[in-house]
């Protein structure tokens, strides 16, 4: 698959859909031997990118949650 866009250019949903399609092809034995390595490599590339996105999102949430909690305490007058 030489015309595939880099995973970073795909939305999360697009990358997941492509990965799901690859996994379905592999599961059903629909990938010929000549393209097996390329499809598997693309799957790994997508998984790595998706994992990095999830990690970044988790890190962002961990960083932002205390700020949100502080705002909530300000609104309610809670000083704890």
pTM for the predicted model, two decimal places: 0.78
CB contact at 8 A, 68 and 33: no
Give the Cα-Cα-Cα angle 56, 59, 61 (nearest 5 degrees): 110
Domain ranges of the chain: 10-76
User: What's the pLDDT band for 1 if we cut at 50, 70, 90?
Assistant: very low
What pLDDT, in 10s, does the model give residues 49-80? 999 999 999 999 999 999 888 888 887 777 66
For 61, phi then psi, to 5°, come to -65, -45
């Amino acid at each position: 698959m030489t015309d595939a866009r880099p995973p970073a250019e795909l939305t999360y949903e697009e990358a997941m859909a492509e990965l799901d399609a690859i996994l379905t092809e592999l599961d059903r034995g629909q990938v010929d031997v000549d393209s097996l390595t390329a499809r598997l490599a693309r799957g790994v590339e997508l998984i790595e990118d998706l994992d990095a996105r999830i990690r970044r999102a988790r890190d962002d949430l961990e960083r932002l949650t205390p700020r949100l909690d502080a705002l909530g305490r300000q609104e309610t007058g809670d000083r704890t």
